[in-house]
Structure 1
Amino acid sequence: MSGPADPPGQAPYPVDPVEGGGPVEEPVPVPPRQRRAWAIDTSPLRNPHYRRLFWGVAATMLGQQMTLVAVPYQVYALTGSSLLVGVTSVVALVPLIVFGLLGGAIADSMDRRRLMLVTGVGSAVTSALLAVQALLPGGGNLALLWALTACVSGFTAVNQPTRSAVIPALVGAEGVPAANALAMTVRQVGVIAGPLLAGLLIAVGSLPVTYAVDALGFLVAVLLLRGLPPLPPGRDAGPLRLGAAVRGVAEGFAFLRTQPVLLMTFVVDVLAMLFAWPQAVFPELSEGRYADSPNSLGWLFAGISIGALLMGLTSGWVSRVDRQGAVVLVAIVVWGIAIIGFGFASTLWLAVLCLAVAGAGDMVSAVLRSSMLQLAAPEGMRGRMQGVFLVVVAGGPRLGDLRAGAIASAAGVTAAMVSGGVVVVVAMAVVALVVPSFWVFRASRSAQPSAHG
């Protein structure tokens, strides 16, 4: 990496404080304030541009989580097949991987504000079409439902890396960890509230309304994002073509191989999710070990998000972490130990407590890993790095489900969870020894490379 870091609190390029205006000479300042030691740092919300991005995320997250419940419910209602529900996950995963990688390259090749608007409109239209197909005779059409699900996933795969890539430009290097904590916290609110609201609407026969809420959220986000200034990519960006986007993906991976710290932000998350993602064993536990506890399945699914939300609300200290690499490794060790405890938990309350602790550790890890990517990657590579981040975050848990389900079927839930947690703890110790640059990484010393990479 080369080039000096941006001054604290200053955007890499200036933006217009007038809503919707173009670049000007001065960035939008974030007024300093006294922060409590533990409360979530809300200072990025004083920046009017980040505030638009934040409320756009908030507007879309509730509906997105509702759709994640509505689609598998509708597939099962149409087919009565759990296998086809599983196939639906693959239908959504494939465009997420393809467009997650291509979307990052596209975000490095065109105005990111325009790209967010285009994908936001596409998501709103597709969600509205989901609502329309739910009104078809017979409760919908499976092929059409799959096609629209793939479209939603593709638009999301381009939109999400782009939103993450613009954060440093809006809040400056100093505000990146706090901005990430805010965005991830509001996502956890959606993860908890969205399924609950979707369940209520579906129970009263309002499946189309569930999809319509998602469309409305995207529409609100588009209206908010229209007020952002132009957000051009790195200075080396060429014209947007498919071939150039594919080459951009290859360039992103080639760059990643030369950056051990950035590479390890992905590796450690893959290890944590592959060996210790617990969701696949929830149904078995709810029907067996915790069968006597009311709504055990709901509590198990909510456990990780509860911990992540509580950590987000008390994440003021995370924004001030300098030894980010070391804290990421410690946070993932906490995740692994908590999953070990979950594997042994004999009561539901203890299991949910362990999951909450795991979720808190994962929240710290996610905030800091995302911040490391946004600050250490050059401006012209941020979109591609966030695209890889999205693919890792989406793919890791699905591979983890496969591992956990296979081991639980062969040797039991306890063996699946405890063995995975132990592997995670040992793996983080190995990473600290083998890749010392990750362990000693400091945010204060990370130089932000130029757009030339």
Structure 2
Amino acid sequence: MDVSPIRESRDFRLLLGSSTVSMFGSVLTMVAVPYQMKQLTGSYVAVGLVSLAEFVPMVVFGLWGGAIADALDRRRIVILSEAGLCLTSALLMANALLLPRATQIPVLYVVAALAAGLNSLRRPSEQAIINRVLKLDQMGAAFAIQSLAGNAGMIVGPAIGGVVVVTLGPATSYGVDVATFVLSLVLLVRVGPVPPTGDASPASLRSLAQGVRYAVRRPDLMGTYLVDIAAMIFAFSNALYPFLADELHAPAALGLLYASGGIGSVIASLTSGWTGHVHRHGRAVIVAAAAWGAGVALASVMPSIWLMAAFLAVAGGADTISGVFRGTIWNQTIPDEYRGRLAGIELLSYSTGPMLGDARAGFLAQAGGARFSLGFGGLLCMGAVAAMAALLPRFRRYDARTDEHALAERARRADVAAT
């Protein structure tokens, strides 16, 4: 694994530490919210609708977060958003401790939506900072490192979170999340300012439209977004995990299901050095996304929680490899003046899919059960990815050695370094 971004950039180290710490706490909340909703309602649909409630604010704030990331100090945006997220976790803790059961349900939906909006506001600026503080040829390595750190949190967080929420209750999980946000803010305030470039566009609907037009004109970028959205909508099924753990007579092992994808992702990240030798990134994204769907489909027919977790780990590893190649295309070809706005669009591509996927999983499970929803979703994912590959030939043929945008960004970076 290439660790040069950690070795050479202080700001990258601080950002990585901040995101890793806050990820750990946020994963505890990710386990606690559906668990609490299941306790309150016992409904597949009610649990799935938590993700649906997050969808609209995530879209709106993700796009606006991309616009302001190109117009304002990116570090300041990240710090203020992180402080807001700390407040939302405090509200969830108070909700679990103080309010009667019937009142807790609407509060969960409202606060989950607010947290999704703040997280979407932050993410484009966070990613655009990475693009500024690292060299162009370090982008793939940086994505793999971020994936490793994030997915390590997805292993440790759910493993601990499943035990904490079952034994100590959701309020304790939310309290730990508050503490991690405070520590994250201590690291973030040490990151250097990241002001906009001299020719930055002011944040406006017009600048948003410019970013969208830039993305639409590039089939290689649209392919990365559309393939990932399709894969996540049809195969992402975290909302089913509390029900699957009960079906397998292993409720105490709920954290294992949440952690399994992270385990596969960590293995994929640690062995990601080979990805630097791949140049046909579009084709690699297609193959990895199809493998994600296959892993989910196979998990649905496994007779034990351990075998189910093993195939979910395979799926998680495939998803990480897809992410490495998508991130490489984004960070090696998008000019800095568009980086924030395109990071907002990227956020929509990898966030809307899971949210809609959880909602889809809940409705299908209501009709045919949790295993049916998981398996049928995996098969639909494979079919959707194959369709996208057929419909987007320029994305399928993308080659970093010859792509005009990749060559132009290398030339621009070389000019900046020469001056």
Structure 1 counterpart of 2:4, one-letter code: S
Residue of structure 2 aligned with 1:69, choices 11, 22, 31: 31
Give the deviation of 1:251 after TM superposition.
2.3
Aligned-partner Cα distance in 2 for 1:284–1:205: 20
Q: Match for 1:186 among 143, 149, 157?
A: 149
Shift of 1:177: 0.9
Residues paired across the two proteins, number: 406
What SS does the corresponding residue of 2:210 show, helix, strand or coil?
helix
1:397 counterpart residue number: 354
1:212 is aligned to 2:212? no
Name the residue aligned to 2:55.
93
Structure-1 separation of matches of 2:195 and 2:118: 20
Contact 1:133/1:140, CA 8 A, preserved across alignment: no
- Matched residue SS, 1:227: coil
In structure 2, what is the Cα distance between the partners aligned to 1:343 and 1:249?
41
CA separation of 1:448/1:206 partners in 2, compared to 1, >3 Å: closer, same or farther? farther
Give the match's secondary structure for 1:447: helix
Percent of aligned pairs sharing the same letter: 35
Residue 366 of structure 1: CA displacement? 1.1
User: Is the contact made by 1:235 and 1:380 (CA closer than 8 Å) also made in structure 2?
Assistant: no
Query: Per-residue displacement from partner, 1:212-271 (whole Å, max 9, x unpaired)?
Result: 32222222222222222221234432444xxx1x33332222221101000100111122
Q: Aligned residue for 1:267? A: 226
Query: Please, which of 237, 262, 275 is the counterpart of residue 305 of structure 1?
Result: 262
Pick from 303, 326, 333 the counterpart of residue 290 of structure 2: 333
CA drift at 1:343? 4.2
The alpha-carbon distance between structure 1 residues 169 and 443, as it changes in their structure 2 partners (threshold 3 A), is: farther
The letter of the residue matching 2:275 is V
- In the TM superposition, what is the alpha-carbon distance from 1:66 to its structure 2 partner? 1.2
What's the offset of the Cα at 1:118?
1.6
Contact map agreement 2:45 2:359 (CA 8 A) in 1: no
Residues 151-202 of structure 1 show CA distances to partners (whole Å, capped at 9, x for unaligned) of: 3222111111211122121111111111111111111122222233334434
CA separation of 1:58/1:411 partners in 2, compared to 1, >3 Å: closer, same or farther? closer
Once structures 1 and 2 are overlaid, which stretch shifts more, 187-196 or 141-150? 141-150
Q: Following the alignment from structure 1 to structure 2, what is the Cα–Cα distance between the partners of residues 221 and 354?
A: 33
CA shift in 2, pair 1:380/1:329, >3 Å: same
More helix by share: 2
Give the aligned residue type for 1:307: G
What aligned pairs does 1:282-361 form with structure 2 within 5 A after superposition?
282=241, 285-286=244-245, 288=247, 290-291=248-249, 297-361=254-318
Q: Is the 8 A contact 1:278 1:400 kept in 2?
A: yes
Whichever residue aligns with residue 371 of structure 1, its letter is T
* Partner residue, 2:17: 55
Going from structure 1 to structure 2, the CA distance change for 1:72 and 1:447 (only over 3 Å counts) comes to same
CA positional deviation for 1:340? 4.0
Which segment drifts farther, 371-380 or 132-141?
132-141
Q: Is 1:257 the equivalent of 2:216? A: yes
The worse-fitting range, judged by mean Cα deviation, of 255-264 and 412-421 is 412-421
Structure 2 Cα separation of the partners of residues 274 and 285 of structure 1: 19
Residue of structure 2 equivalent to 1:42: 3
2:417 matched residue in structure 1: none
Which letter does structure 2 place at the counterpart of 1:111?
Answer: D
Contact 1:108 1:237 in 2 (8 A): yes
- TM norm structure 1: 0.78
Following the alignment from structure 1 to structure 2, what is the Cα–Cα distance between the partners of residues 266 and 201?
Answer: 35
Judging changes above 3 Å, is the alpha-carbon distance between structure 1 residues 82 and 44 closer, same or farther for their aligned structure 2 residues? same
Specify the alignment match of 2:134 in structure 1: 171
Mark the CA change 1:128 to 1:385 in structure 2 (over 3 Å): closer, same or farther: same
The alignment status of 1:366 with 2:315, answered yes or no, reads: no
Letter in 1 for 2:314: V
CA–CA distance in structure 2, aligned partners of residues 124 and 100 of structure 1: 18
Which runs of 5 or more residues in structure 2 are unaligned?
414-419
**Contact 1:308–1:360 (CA under 8 A) maintained in structure 2:** yes
Paired with 2:30 and 2:54, the residues of 1 have a C-alpha distance of 10
The separation in 2 between residues aligned to 1:363 and 1:223, in whole angstroms, is: 29
Deviates more, 1:266-275 or 1:70-79: 70-79
- Cα 1:193–1:260 change in 2 (3 A) is same
Whole-Å separation in 1 of the counterparts to 2:220 and 2:98: 51
Q: Aligned in 2, Cα 1:418/1:168: closer, same or farther, shift over 3 Å?
A: same
Structural mapping, 1:84-163, within 5 Å: 84-136=46-98, 138=100, 142=104, 143-163=106-126
8 Å Cα contact 1:134-1:140 kept in structure 2: no
Deviation, structure 1 residue 133: 4.3
CA distance in 2, matches of 1:60, 1:285: 27
Residue in 2 aligned with 1:13? none
Bigger radius of gyration among the two: 1
Cα pair 2:18 2:183 within 8 Å, conserved = yes
Q: Counterpart of 2:232 in structure 1: which amino acid?
A: M
Q: How does 1:442-453 map to 2 (within 5 A)?
A: 442-445=399-402, 446-448=406-408
Contact 2:201 2:207 in 1 (8 A): no
Counterparts of 2:31 and 2:366 in 1: how far apart (Å)? Answer: 25
Cα RMSD after superposing both structures: 3.2
The answer to whether the 8 Å contact 1:110/1:233 transfers is: yes
2-structure distance, mates of 1:309, 1:219: 26
Q: Is the CA contact 1:109–1:233 (under 8 Å) kept in the aligned structure 2?
A: yes
| Deviations, residues 328-355 of structure 1 (Å, cap 9, x unaligned) | 1221232233334334445544433322
* 8 Å Cα contact 1:343/1:414 also seen in 2: yes
SS across alignment from 1:231: coil
Q: Counterpart of 1:233 in 2: which secondary structure? A: coil
